[in-house]
Amino acid sequence: MKVRTIAELVGGKAEGDLDREMTSGRALDRAGPGDLAFWESRSGAAALPDTAAGCVIVGPDAVAPGRTLIRARRPRNAFARALRALRPEPPTAPGIHAGAAVSRAAKIAEGVAVGPHAVIESGAAVGRGTVIGPGAFLGAGAQVGEDCRLHAGARVSGGCRIGDRVVLHAGACIGADGFGLVFETDHYEKFPQIGAVVIGDDVEIGANSCVDRGALDDTRIGAGTKLDNLVHIGHNCQIGKHVVMAAQVGLSGGVTVEDYAVLGGQAGIGEGARIGARAQLGGQGGLLPDKTLAKDGVYWGTPARPLRERLAAQARVNRLPKLQEQVKRLRSRLDALEKK
Amino acid sequence: MKVRTIAELVGGKAEGDLDREMTSGRALDRAGPGDLAFWESRSGAAALPDTAAGCVIVGPDAVAPGRTLIRARRPRNAFARALRALRPEPPTAPGIHAGAAVSRAAKIAEGVAVGPHAVIESGAAVGRGTVIGPGAFLGAGAQVGEDCRLHAGARVSGGCRIGDRVVLHAGACIGADGFGLVFETDHYEKFPQIGAVVIGDDVEIGANSCVDRGALDDTRIGAGTKLDNLVHIGHNCQIGKHVVMAAQVGLSGGVTVEDYAVLGGQAGIGEGARIGARAQLGGQGGLLPDKTLAKDGVYWGTPARPLRERLAAQARVNRLPKLQEQVKRLRSRLDALEKK
Amino acid sequence: MKVRTIAELVGGKAEGDLDREMTSGRALDRAGPGDLAFWESRSGAAALPDTAAGCVIVGPDAVAPGRTLIRARRPRNAFARALRALRPEPPTAPGIHAGAAVSRAAKIAEGVAVGPHAVIESGAAVGRGTVIGPGAFLGAGAQVGEDCRLHAGARVSGGCRIGDRVVLHAGACIGADGFGLVFETDHYEKFPQIGAVVIGDDVEIGANSCVDRGALDDTRIGAGTKLDNLVHIGHNCQIGKHVVMAAQVGLSGGVTVEDYAVLGGQAGIGEGARIGARAQLGGQGGLLPDKTLAKDGVYWGTPARPLRERLAAQARVNRLPKLQEQVKRLRSRLDALEKK
């Protein structure tokens, strides 16, 4: 793809050799003549570091005389867009592999690809352009929208409903039973888990992550939300739109997460808690059951506290030796005074 | 199912329209005329909130004149029991799918269902009424009891033994090698992992959870124990009966957990530690290697401390600014005294 | 295997009945006449406890008159070596199962075993002696070396490269997309993930663990490194040789871990952080983004601090009631002085 074409695509302004052909993208320090790269300087008018990249996407004020550049307001975003065009995901030929087990009572739209050893049960429906990977599973009555991608071994249990352009990475498990128990005399019985999981458009769910079905009502994940690997979403959680959860985050049952919230890796959220819109909880943070994080707040630690408060508390603990020293000195002075 | 039948089933007392037909169950605020619901008031004689539910299971003293009710001592438990009857898990037709790979040297009892692409190796045995889901795996010599359910892609490695009525959710992995290493000069060698995993009756293990085989002896999980998703049980752990572990709990090797203990989500237990009967450890709590939680105790934090102690320590840290202020004031007073 | 043969194998010195036949190994307190066991006393010249073991590997100074022994400098290591010989992993007959889906454009070396329902895509290569388990997956162009073992349902995505003698346990997922996002106005777009995963020789990766592919460059795991179950390795991490990570450890993107480092269970490492050679981080410890753990250091807690510092801080918090008491007493004395 020519530099001029990339510039148009990303809404940037090209300089230098506009007809140069780019074939891929790499990091600035590893890029070669056929590679697009990007560079975001902290101060605007800094000089571009040495690089062998054929073309670099830079900010409006970067200094790089004689180089082939594309100037864009947000180089990283422009680079991501360009690279999605330069290196599109290889298409999967549509068709149902002879080794897949697809129920005759499933509705498979045109242009769907079903890989070897995938299983699609009765009443399941798959929208056009979707790719069901090797060994993936759709239970009875499960619905998957258009242009989705279920990677190898991704699993969607019966009755769950998934929107368009959703990506489930390998081993992701949608719709296992929620963890609902009732104690009877001397043992636990199961609280029935008859809700489903409903996932909006453009959601991405990481490898080996688990989203449990609701007990009575549905577990919901809003459009555009992105979950990393090994995340656990308990039954009846209501996750908003464009929420981001890093790897190994765990949500107990009945948690509400509002739009654009961000949870750092290994954060844990107690039953019935609520996370306000755009709130952020740092990695390993823990929110106790039924507690709330205010919208737009930034929180850290267990139990989760506003970041500033948490840092102040840490600083106070770190200053404890000084405080002990002060108390000791006061005592000496008091001893001296009393002897007078 | 008629209200009067449900009342008998749960040992409750019906009031109102005893012949009303219930078809499912939902939460009180979402239930319709065909739905059973339940309501547990905090104080006994409170008034039932507005609801469209056809019938509500309530406590002995709830106030709801004119409503169709079932009175039971523990409404939530009664509701769970009723719903298990109203909405039983759909039966799976017995039979071995043509696309499954079942060794001729495996023993498959009558009434077993084996899904497409399941693999059952030589010497494995499956008890009557058990459902082996799509893509599930039983290694050589593995034994699974009666009326078990292995969901899609659940895996039981060679030689492991599983009781009756056990549920393994999708992707659960029983019997991977334990993490045993010996250091030799400049690299690690494997400490052989030749024990098995032995799981009692009525155990439920969550999606993508892992229970490792023992090194020399077996890893054991007692009857009635319930593990949520993404739980890790290290080699040679000895888990008692009716233990509950929430999602993402991790146990190192050789941990003992006694009957009825409860571990909150993301709790972590060090090698060789012991958790007493009925002890509870809060979410994200951490027990150091070789330490013990006393039976019946309630613990929180890392390192795990009795909950009261932990809360008191937190409160003291929160009061540190006040202590610093007190010290400052003492110093001023002392300054004044010394100047006299 | 005779005691004398075992002694030779482990470089130890046999005593007693050198022709006794050992058939397996067990823990000292459970071993029988055909079992090898081992015993490491804390003090050198202690007396071997009672045991029914047929032969015990002990240290040079252990006291056990009349017993059949093998003396070795490091009994546990010697035992592990002996047991690997006594109980070798059962061999898997080479050959491609009729129920596997292997592309004609894949290169499968001699002596490879491919289990039922495994999938090997076009351009993938498998080295001699490697076992591809039931339902395992190799994406297009993936390369797996010699004498590797992919357990049931292990997955290697397209283009990833794996060395020799590598073990991937059940459900391990190599090469899912990294978690790279760019924010565009009101939603997230994917930052392309076109790097691969490159894994060195003798690496072992636990059940349901995930190693993500790099964004632009590769994610790398050095030779001899061992990861336990449910570990998450983010995109572009650079893991050295002989690193050990216990279960449920999580690494964000771009983390560097140098040779021989050890991470305790559930530890979490922030983006771009660096862990020096041989450094150790205790279980549940957390290292903030872009921070460094010095080589050879021992760290604990979140944020990670040198272990001594962390323990001292804890001790100070525990002594707070005493400090409060001291301040109170100073105030009383000051009150008395002022009244004079």
| Domain residue extents for chain A | 3-86, 95-308, 309-339
Contact of A102 with A122, CB cutoff 8 Å: no
- Percent of chain B predicted with pLDDT > 70: 100
Three state DSSP letters for chain C: CEHHHHHHHHCCEEECCCCCECCEECCCCCCCCCEEEECCCCCCCCECCCCCCCEEEECCCCECCCCCEEECCCHHHHHHHHHHHHCCCCCCCCEECCCCEECCCCEECCCCEECCCCEECCCCEECCCCEECCCCEECCCCEECCCCEECCCCEECCCCEECCCCEECCCCEEEECCCCEEEECCEEEECCCCCCEEECCCCEECCCCEEECCCCCCEEECCCCEECCCCEECCCCEECCCCEECCCCEECCCCEECCCCEECCCCEECCCCEECCCCEECCCCEECCCCEECCCCEEECCCCEEHHHHHHHHHHHHCHHHHHHHHHHHHHHHHHHHHC
Residues of chain C under the 50 pLDDT cut: none
Decide: pTM greater than 0.95. Answer: yes
Q: Which residues of C touch B248 (CB under 8 A)?
A: 248
So what CATH class is C96-308?
mainly beta
Q: Is B117 in Cβ contact with C244 (below 8 Å)?
A: no
C278 in contact with B at a CB cutoff of 8 Å? Answer: no
List chain B residues with CB under 8 Å of C337.
Answer: 337
- Listed residue (C134, C152, C130) closest to C142, CA to CA: C130
B117 contact residues in A (CB cutoff 8 A):
101, 117, 119, 135
Q: Do B81 and A189 touch (CB under 8 A)?
A: yes
pLDDT of residue A170: 98
A339 close to B (CB below 8 A): no
Residue C118 to residues A133, A153, B309, C150, C155, Cα–Cα distance (Å): 13, 11, 53, 10, 10
Q: Which of residues 175-194 of A touch C (CB under 8 A)?
A: none
ipTM above 0.85, yes or no: yes
Q: Closest approach of chain A CAs to the CA of B247, in angstroms? A: 7
The pLDDT mean for chain A works out to 96
Q: Which pLDDT score, from 0 to 100, does residue B210 have?
A: 98
Tell me if domain B3-86 and domain B95-308 are identical in fold. no
CA of B136 vs chain C CAs: smallest distance (Å): 9
Flag whether pLDDT at A116 surpasses 90.
yes
Interchain CB distance below 8 Å, A317 and B320: yes
Size of interface B-C (CB pairs under 8 A): 173
CA distance to partner chain B, nearest, from residue C134 (Å): 7
Is pLDDT above 80 for A262? yes
Q: Which of B101, B188, B316 sits opposite C117 (nearest CB)?
A: B101
Percent of chain A residues topping a pLDDT of 70:
100
Question: Average pLDDT, stretch A230-246?
Answer: 98
Query: Is the predicted pLDDT of residue A237 greater than 90, yes or no?
Result: yes
Minimal-distance CA residue of chain B relative to A215? B26
The whole-number pLDDT of residue A231 equals 98
Nearest to B101 among C99, C229, C317 (CB): C99
Domain made up of B3-86: CATH architecture:
3-Layer(aba) Sandwich (3.40)
Question: What's the pLDDT band for B293 if we cut at 50, 70, 90?
Answer: very high
One CATH from 2.40.100.10, 2.160.10.10, 3.30.70.260, 3.10.20.30 for B95-308: 2.160.10.10
**pLDDT digit string, tens, across residues B178-219:** 999 999 999 999 999 999 999 999 999 999 999 999 999 999
Residue A284 has a CB neighbour count (10 Å cut-off) of: 27
Nearest-CA distance B182 → chain C (Å): 6
Q: List chains touching C (3+ CB pairs under 8 A).
A: A, B
Active site residue B235: yes
C216/A244 CB distance under 8 A: no
Active-site residue identified among C151, C169, C232, C235: C235
A338 pLDDT band (50/70/90 cuts)?
confident
Q: Give C324→chain B minimum CA distance, Å.
A: 7
Rounded mean pLDDT, A200-224 = 98
Residue of B nearest to C328 (CA): B326
Whether A283 contacts chain C with CB within 8 A? yes
Q: Least CB-CB distance to A176: which of B74, B135, B151?
A: B151
- C316 → closest Cβ in A84, A321, A338: A321
For the segment B76-103, the average pLDDT, to the nearest whole number, is: 95
Q: Judge: B206–A179 Cβ closer than 8 Å, yes or no.
A: yes
Mutate to test the interface with A, among B29, B155, B221, B266 (most CBs of A within 10 A): B266
pLDDT at residue B42 is higher than 80: no
Strand C13-15 and strand C69-71: the pairing is antiparallel
Show residues of chain C in contact with A116, CB under 8 Å. Answer: 101, 117, 119
What is the model's pLDDT at position C340? Answer: 77
User: What integer best gives the mean pLDDT of chain B?
Assistant: 96
Q: Does the CB of B230 have a partner CB in chain C at under 8 Å?
A: yes
User: For residues A4 and C111, what is the distance between their CA atoms, to the nearest angstrom?
Assistant: 52
* Residue A160 pLDDT class (50, 70, 90 cuts): very high
- Set A151, A169, A235, A242: catalytic member: A235
Provide the chain B residues 239-268 that lie in CB contact (below 8 A) with chain C: 248, 250, 252, 266, 268
Contact between B248 and A268 using a beta-carbon 8 Å cutoff: yes
Chain B from 125 to 164: CB within 8 A of any C CB:
135, 137, 139-140, 153, 155, 157
